[in-house]
Structure 1
Amino acid sequence: MVGIVNYGAGNIFSITAALQRLDISYGMINTKDDFDRYDRIIIPGVGHAGAAMDKLKASGLAEAIPKLEKPVLGICVGMQLLTDFSEEGHAELLGIIPVKTLHFEGRVTEKVPHMGWNSISFDPSCPLFKDIANNTYFYFVHSYFIEHEDRYNIATCDYGLTFSAAIAKNNFWAVQFHPEKSGKAGEQLLLNFSHF
């Protein structure tokens, strides 16, 4: 059963709708005690990383998340929250994966935010991408990106520069794109995560 970390992110409905379509049972995590009820955790994301971190701290969830030993999937801002630091609000984040979240502005000539479909490149042996073709297109909408670091990178995307489309460390997995808005490939990724 999947627990969704509820910190006021704007895309709770779209992720729950995707899980319903896939017949994956889920519930909401509002307090740290709720983590015990689920065997997999999703940290969704739309919004401001600094503000999201403030809400996680206020609810006590920020202290609990780094201690989790069950599979965790961060999505978009949920991915950024796993990093050390974000230029958005100059915020110290959860520090689970030691990379930084940076702003596209001033680093690319492309339009910011990066919005729409873009292909990603990944190692096909990665279990998160099981039964998904390499260079598949996923749906992105973000102004901040995760710096590319080989030790944690599991998928890349190009948008004026190469950034991490997905990262992983131990039981923590994260994607910058929105699988819940990425059609069949996104649904396959959520199914893969639900079967870890």
Structure 2
Amino acid sequence: MTHIAIIDYGMGNLRSVAKAIEHVAPDAQVIVTSDPRDVARAERVVFPGQGAMPDCMRELDARGAREAVVEAAATKPFLGICIGQQMLFEHSEEGDVPGLGILPGRVVRFPSDARMSAPDGMRLKVPHMGWNEVRQVDPSHPLWRGIADGERFYFVHSFHIAPASEADATAHTDYGVRFTSAVGRANIFAVQFHPEKSATAGLQLLANFVSWNPEIPSR
């Protein structure tokens, strides 16, 4: 039986993530936990969340889960979702706070100038909320299996990642500006959108994660 830990640090409705994974992996044991021992025992780890970056980092540390997240990202298949993607990077403009530094790069706010306009000239609102196309940089990545390039996923965010290395980007999305909406490196895959809210395509991505067996980097 596969053991999957969903890290709970008090930010966001994690039950929707758990239910979506239980749906695509009915034989797996899925637990929502803040206990580092549970995270260490799990074979796969999901790191979701919603809210402001400073609050998320504070709550992660308050629950003693920081080291468990860093260790899991280094040793097993690891999926970051929404703020769980942003927290993997080095620094965020939201609250001017450091992230976990697992991946190089930063988190930036959508611009507030004329660039935030649709092709028809209509002003785009921030937060970016709703369905949008995800353009795959590397369609051969196992987590894109069965998902068409340009498939639509559900987003809710005002900030987005700016990876230091374009090689880490596995998908882009356009919303006034083009931003990186998914990253992948070795055993880590992380998305800005919410697969648990993204209907069939989102469930397919979660199913792909459950069956993904990446090579774990040597330490």
TM-score (norm 1): 0.95
Select which of 148, 151, 155 maps to 2:171: 155
Q: Confirm whether residue 134 of structure 1 aligns to residue 140 of structure 2.
A: no
Q: Using the alignment, how far apart are the partners of 2:112 and 2:167 within structure 1?
A: 26
For 1:54 and 1:4, locate their aligned partners in 2 and report how far apart those are by CA, in whole Å: 18
The aligned counterpart of 1:192 is: 208
In the TM superposition, what is the alpha-carbon distance from 1:25 to its structure 2 partner?
A: 3.0
Amino acid in structure 2 at the alignment position of 1:143: S
Of residues 104-113 and 177-186 in structure 1, the stretch that sits farther from structure 2 once superposed is 104-113
Preserved CA contact (<8 Å) 1:4 1:42: yes
Are the aligned partners of 2:14 and 2:32 in contact in 1 as well (CA < 8 Å)?
A: no
How much identity, in percent, do the aligned residues show?
Answer: 42
Quote the offset at 1:105 in angstroms.
4.1
> Cα offset for 1:64?
2.6
Structure 1 segment 83-162 matched on structure 2, within 5 A: 83-106=89-112, 108-109=115-116, 110-122=124-136, 123-147=138-162, 149-162=165-178
Aligned counterparts of 2:145 and 2:41: Cα–Cα separation in 1: 27
Contact kept in structure 1, 2:90 and 2:103, CA below 8 Å: yes
* SS of residue in 2 equivalent to 1:79: helix
Rg larger in structure: 2
Deviations 1:146-180 (A, max 9, x none): 11541210111011111111012222210000000
Question: Partners in 2 of 1:12 and 1:59 — Cα distance?
Answer: 16
Higher mean C-alpha deviation, range 133-142 or range 30-39 = 30-39
Find the aligned partners of 1:102 and 1:181 in 2 and give their Cα distance.
24
Q: Equivalents in 1 of 2:184, 2:202: separation in Å?
A: 17
Q: 1:71: Cα distance to partner?
A: 0.9
Q: Say which SS state the counterpart of residue 31 (structure 2) adopts.
A: strand
Indicate the SS of the match to 1:89: coil
2:87 maps to 1:81:
yes
Letter in 2 for 1:9: M
| 8 Å CA contact retained: 1:19, 1:25 | no
**Are residue 17 (structure 1) and residue 19 (structure 2) matched?**
yes
Distance in 1, Cα, partners of 2:67 & 2:41: 17
- Residues 7-26 of structure 1: CA distance to partner in whole angstroms, max 9, x if unpaired? 01212121122123222430
* Number of equivalent positions: 196
Tell me how large the CA RMSD over aligned residues is: 1.4
Opposite residue 45 of structure 1, the aligned amino acid is G
TM-score by length of 2: 0.85
Shift of 1:126: 0.8
Task: Give the match's secondary structure for 1:158.
Answer: strand
**CA shift at 1:58, angstroms?**
1.8
Unaligned runs of 5+ in 1: none
Where does the alignment leave 5 or more consecutive residues of structure 2 unmatched? 117-123, 213-219
The answer (yes or no) to whether the contact 2:110–2:158 under 8 Å persists in 1 is yes
Deviation string 1:18-40 (CA, Å, 9 cap, x unpaired) is 12322243002212212122100
